[in-house]
Amino acid sequence: MDIRPECNDDINSIERVIIEAFKNHPHSNQTEHEIVAKLRNDNPLSVSLVAEVNNVIIGHIAFSKVNISGEFIEWYGLAPVSVEPEYQNQGVGSQLILSGLKAIRELNGKGCVLLGEPEYYNRFGFKAFSGLVFKGVPPEYFQSLLLSGDMPNGNVEYHKAFA
């Protein structure tokens, strides 16, 4: 399996993988592919990686800038991450997350937030942190990973594509 940045020719395959991955997801309204398209069009898609097997895209991960207390302080949001159902539970998601975090570090990212199952994301070091607040969700599902510097405090806002 290869993991590499997306290119223009990947856009339809990425859309297909995201739709397939979230098809039966209980907390999804199946708009994740539209969010990624909007992020790409508005240009805040900071990192977008694909996982490929035999030249077929089977996974995707996106990271975009977030504001904390109204300011971009080099923190990013991980969302969404998608793996084609028949390739799930084989480490593809983990490799996408680890490669994505490496790319965020290379952008000099200071940290990353996400909304997701603590049981899955704790293994990458993500933890709920009471100082970083994302309104409207149970706090244990909003998790942060500090990459450098001090942990900031404040309300976190994603790009308007997530609205």
Ligand X SMILES: CC(C)(COP(=O)(O)OP(=O)(O)OC[C@H]1O[C@@H](n2cnc3c(N)ncnc32)[C@H](O)[C@@H]1OP(=O)(O)O)[C@@H](O)C(=O)NCCC(=O)NCCS
Interacting residue ranges for ligand X, rule: CB under 6 A = 21-22, 25, 79-83, 88-94, 116-117, 119-120
Determine the Cα–Cα distance for residues 24 and 35; give it in Å rounded to an integer.
18
Considering beta carbons, is residue 96 or 132 the nearer one to ligand X?
Answer: 96
Cβ nearer to ligand X, comparing 21 with 36: 21
Phi, psi angle pair for 30, to nearest 5°: 60, 35
Quick check: helix, strand or coil at residue 154? strand
User: Least distance to ligand X from the beta carbon of 109, Å?
Assistant: 18
Q: Output the smallest distance, CB 111 to ligand X, in A.
A: 18
Q: Residue 79 Cβ, how far from ligand X at the closest point, in Å?
A: 5
| Nearest-CB residue for ligand X | 93
Report the residue number, 35 or 132, with the smaller CB distance to ligand X.
Answer: 35
How far is the C-alpha of 108 from the C-alpha of 91, rounded, in Å?
26
Compute the least distance from the CB of residue 20 to ligand X, in Å: 9
Measured between alpha carbons, how far is 107 from 97 in angstroms, rounded to an integer?
15
Closer to ligand X at the Cβ: 83 or 132?
A: 83
Calpha distance 158→44 (Å, rounded):
10
Q: Closest distance between ligand X and the C-beta of residue 139, in Å?
A: 17
The C-alpha atoms of residue 161 and residue 154 are separated, in whole angstroms, by 21
Contacts of 93 (CB under 8 A, 6+ apart): 59, 81, 83, 120
- Determine the Cα–Cα distance for residues 28 and 25; give it in Å rounded to an integer: 5
* Residue nearer to ligand X on the CB measure, 106 or 119: 119
Name the β-bridge partners of 154.
132
